[in-house]
Structure 1
Amino acid sequence: MTTPSDPTSSAFPTVGRVATITVTILAIIGFAWMLLELSGFLMLVFASLVLAAIFGVITQAVGRWTGIGRGPALGISVLLILGVFGGAFTLFGSQLAGEFDTIRESIPPAIDQVRAFLERAGLSESVRDMVEQGSSDVSRLASQAGGYVLTATNGIANLVLVFVAAIFLASDPAVYRRGLLLLMPRRAEPTIAAALDDASRGLRGWMVGQAVSSLVVAAFTWAGLALLGVPASGGLGLIAGLLDVIPMIGPIIAGVPAVLLAFTVSPITALWTVVLFLVIQQIQGNFLQPMIQKQAVDVPPAILLFAVVAAGLLFGFLGVLLAAPLTVVIYVLVQRIYVRTLLGKDIQIAGQVEDAS
């Protein structure tokens, strides 16, 4: 004989489920809020990981060539990087500083020359208004870039923090790897370990390919602008090489000051400067970028473009600089953890040749 169910007893599980869902939602919101509040700190941590990957690659190469242990090899790697940057600054620092001053002082007169040229060409009023709007946008972006540079210059403490943390991470990465795996459930350890290997491999590959690409773009831009007689070709080449780290948007930003300064020579020089950047873009897109993707991860271009915009909105200038490696890491983690493990789909992880079988 069954007894009628007590209405209050069936209500308790419902209340419990509601309470559990409410606490879970609040925990997720609190965690998201904490991540947003700590976004600057998290980007510094990721910057340290990227720099540690660079130290790791150089350390492995030094160890292979010399046969010494990891500690001395890391010390040589750090000294080598400091020596390269210090030597370049000593040899070319004053020259590049003068060229950057030339760039900053020449852009406003160059904009005036562009406007005067368009007026002589008899363009309609609407086109001139559009050009003037674009000129104001360029000036605004230049002022914002100056603010970014000032912020970066004032962030010496953050730079030192990233540099020192990268040395610690590169000295014994296995310690931090084991510590992270200990925080994971036992059944998730193999997946997380494989995901860390995927992310590390993709990050190292991106770093090697991007270094080659930036050097080639900087050298070609410097040489081409020097042949065209554009002022401050060395500084413009350095800007192009540095901005090559930013996918899609970086080369366009680098071309704007070059074309403006070319107008101070002649409109024909400005036209040839546009042709030069188009040729370099073809080399970068058809040769250098596939090389980077082969070494790292073949991330679809649209994802990279949206990642740059999103990283800029969320994390500012540092996010824009780190958008490409951050996208590479997130891309392989999504493939490994979500698509392959959670969804159970048999896919090849990007950049993992051994999974092809």
Structure 2
Amino acid sequence: METPARPRSQVTPRTVWTVALNVLALVAVLWLLARAWTVLSWVMVALFLALAAHPLVRWMEGRGVRRGAAVLAVGLLGMGLLSALLMTLVPMLLEQARALVQAVPDYVYQLQHRPWVQKLDERYDVIDRIATELRQRIPMTPGPVWGVVTDLLRKLAAVVTISVLTIFFLLFGPDLFDKALQWVEPSRREHWRGLGHEMHRTVGGYVAGAFLISLIGGGVTAVSTLLLGVPYFMALGLAMAVLGLIPFVGAFLGMLLVTGTTFASVGTKEGLIALVVFVVYQQVEGNLLQPLIQRRTLKMNPLLIALVMLVGTSLAGLIGALLALPIAGAVQVLLQDRLARLHEQWRTGKNGVTRVILAPEDQGRRQQPPSEPPLIQH
């Protein structure tokens, strides 16, 4: 009696080696990304700034200025504003920020005398815990000189690198995109070129609009707190400008920071005025500025925005929070294009025809069943 043949395995050694090499390649790519994350973050910030500056460059090109001259003018304008900021506002900002940080524990103790805070503190003992934690974490003396110099040089290198990359993106980004299209099938190049322009228009418009709106919010915050007599108006204005770039969560955090600081440093009346000013400005921003400035930029579901912001923040902190939505907007353009193509395929069928499947009783009535199912051309 012959022994039945054992079934041959469907997994060949070649398949095993292919899967193993693909996994190793993926691990190597992830390792390289982790090692080069600092440089990649600089590149993403430069792209972010280039998208924000592109509308101004395009406006100057529309007035007859050559692209190179327009990029140079925008670069010099940015450098001039940065230099003015460093020479005039930054010392004041640093002084106010240092004073604000050092005054936080005292403000906590001042809040302790409020009746509602006293009731909360009697039950949970939160005031002493917060004050102790802040005093432990806030450095009251400067660190070693070598560490300060190294950190300063690192930040200076980041600023120079990001500035140069931003100019390069503005100058050579379109040519690089055209060169990349040479790898695409000729019949699909125009489609991908239009898709790239749509991504650039949507994401670039959003970035430029977000910058403009955040600067307006920072200016309103600085002026209103200055008029209310808050000694940290410059630091609060800058913090509000940065937080304004973060959808949803940034406005709420800014409200807590501005109103809380005003309450603690000036008084209850001024704190209530700051809260009213903040609420009124948020209504103006949501109902007037955003529809006017970002009327043709990316539109995304609020739940999806919240999820994207959470993922970006968890992966890369503040930079991830700033870049998550533009990246998601670019991905959304690609997914919308793919969805439109799928709908077209579902509507016309895979080969441009629709198959008609007969019921069993109808098939029995046919004299000669065809070798292929009948086709009806659209």
For residue 170 of structure 1, what is the aligned residue in structure 2?
Answer: 170
CA 1:120–1:84 in 2, change beyond 3 Å: closer, same or farther?
closer
For residue 298 of structure 1, what is the aligned residue in structure 2?
Answer: 299
- Distance in 2 of aligned mates of 1:197 and 1:142: 47
For residue 245 of structure 1, what is the aligned residue in structure 2?
Answer: 245
- Distance in 2 of aligned mates of 1:13 and 1:51: 50
Per the alignment, in what secondary structure is the counterpart of residue 247 of structure 1? coil
For residue 76 of structure 1, what is the aligned residue in structure 2?
Answer: 73
CA 1:107–1:280 in 2, change beyond 3 Å: closer, same or farther?
farther
CA displacement 1:41-96 (0-9 Å, x = unmatched): 3332222222222343222222333x232112211121122223323444444433
CA displacement 1:6-54 (0-9 Å, x = unmatched): 978x546755445544444444444444444443333322222222223
Per the alignment, in what secondary structure is the counterpart of residue 172 of structure 1? helix
**CA-CA distance at 1:311 after TM superposition:** 1.7
Pick from 108, 112, 117 the counterpart of residue 111 of structure 1: 108
**CA-CA distance at 1:297 after TM superposition:** 0.3
* Correspondences of 1:117-196 after superposition (within 5 Å): 117-118=114-115, 122-123=119-120, 125-126=122-123, 128-129=125-126, 154-184=154-184, 189-196=189-196
Does the Cα contact within 8 Å between 2:217 and 2:240 map onto a contact in 1?
A: yes
1:271 aligns with 2:272: yes
- Distance in 2 of aligned mates of 1:234 and 1:19: 60
CA displacement 1:286-326 (0-9 Å, x = unmatched): 33344454232012223223322322221233222323323
Q: Judge which range, 235-244 or 134-143, deviates more.
A: 134-143
- The structure number with the bigger radius of gyration is 2
Per the alignment, in what secondary structure is the counterpart of residue 235 of structure 2? helix
- Distance in 2 of aligned mates of 1:222 and 1:309: 28
Pick from 45, 48, 54 the counterpart of residue 46 of structure 2: 48
- Distance in 2 of aligned mates of 1:142 and 1:249: 24
Q: Judge which range, 316-325 or 182-191, deviates more.
A: 182-191
- TM-score by length of structure 2 reads 0.73
- Distance in 2 of aligned mates of 1:126 and 1:119: 11
The structure in which a higher percent of residues are helix is 1
CA 1:92–1:194 in 2, change beyond 3 Å: closer, same or farther?
same
Per the alignment, in what secondary structure is the counterpart of residue 316 of structure 1? helix
Does the Cα contact within 8 Å between 1:111 and 1:260 map onto a contact in 2?
A: no
- Distance in 2 of aligned mates of 1:137 and 1:224: 31
**CA-CA distance at 1:215 after TM superposition:** 2.5
CA 1:13–1:221 in 2, change beyond 3 Å: closer, same or farther?
closer
Q: CA RMSD in A?
A: 3.7
Does the Cα contact within 8 Å between 2:53 and 2:74 map onto a contact in 1?
A: yes
5+ long unaligned stretches in structure 2: 347-378
For residue 209 of structure 1, what is the aligned residue in structure 2?
Answer: 209
Question: What amino acid is aligned across from residue 217 of structure 1 in structure 2?
Answer: G
CA displacement 1:233-266 (0-9 Å, x = unmatched): 2331222122211122222333333233321222
**CA-CA distance at 1:197 after TM superposition:** 1.6
- Distance in 2 of aligned mates of 1:287 and 1:141: 41
5+ long unaligned stretches in structure 1: 1-5, 347-357
Does the Cα contact within 8 Å between 1:40 and 1:315 map onto a contact in 2?
A: no
For residue 63 of structure 1, what is the aligned residue in structure 2?
Answer: 61
**CA-CA distance at 1:110 after TM superposition:** 1.3
Per the alignment, in what secondary structure is the counterpart of residue 252 of structure 2? helix
Question: What amino acid is aligned across from residue 39 of structure 1 in structure 2?
Answer: W
Question: What amino acid is aligned across from residue 223 of structure 1 in structure 2?
Answer: V
- Distance in 1 of aligned mates of 2:71 and 2:47: 15
- Distance in 2 of aligned mates of 1:141 and 1:217: 30
- Distance in 2 of aligned mates of 1:23 and 1:280: 56
- Distance in 2 of aligned mates of 1:40 and 1:238: 24
For residue 318 of structure 2, what is the aligned residue in structure 1?
Answer: 317
CA 1:101–1:91 in 2, change beyond 3 Å: closer, same or farther?
same
Question: What amino acid is aligned across from residue 177 of structure 2 in structure 1?
Answer: R
- Distance in 1 of aligned mates of 2:311 and 2:112: 33
Does the Cα contact within 8 Å between 1:221 and 1:240 map onto a contact in 2?
A: yes
**CA-CA distance at 1:219 after TM superposition:** 2.4
1:102 aligns with 2:103: no
CA displacement 1:166-203 (0-9 Å, x = unmatched): 21221132221023223456666455433322221112
CA 1:111–1:256 in 2, change beyond 3 Å: closer, same or farther?
farther
CA 1:38–1:94 in 2, change beyond 3 Å: closer, same or farther?
closer
- Distance in 2 of aligned mates of 1:181 and 1:120: 63
- Distance in 1 of aligned mates of 2:345 and 2:110: 59
Identical aligned pairs, as a percentage?
23
- Distance in 1 of aligned mates of 2:133 and 2:288: 32
Question: What amino acid is aligned across from residue 269 of structure 1 in structure 2?
Answer: E
Q: Judge which range, 186-195 or 238-247, deviates more.
A: 186-195
For residue 258 of structure 1, what is the aligned residue in structure 2?
Answer: 258
CA 1:127–1:332 in 2, change beyond 3 Å: closer, same or farther?
farther
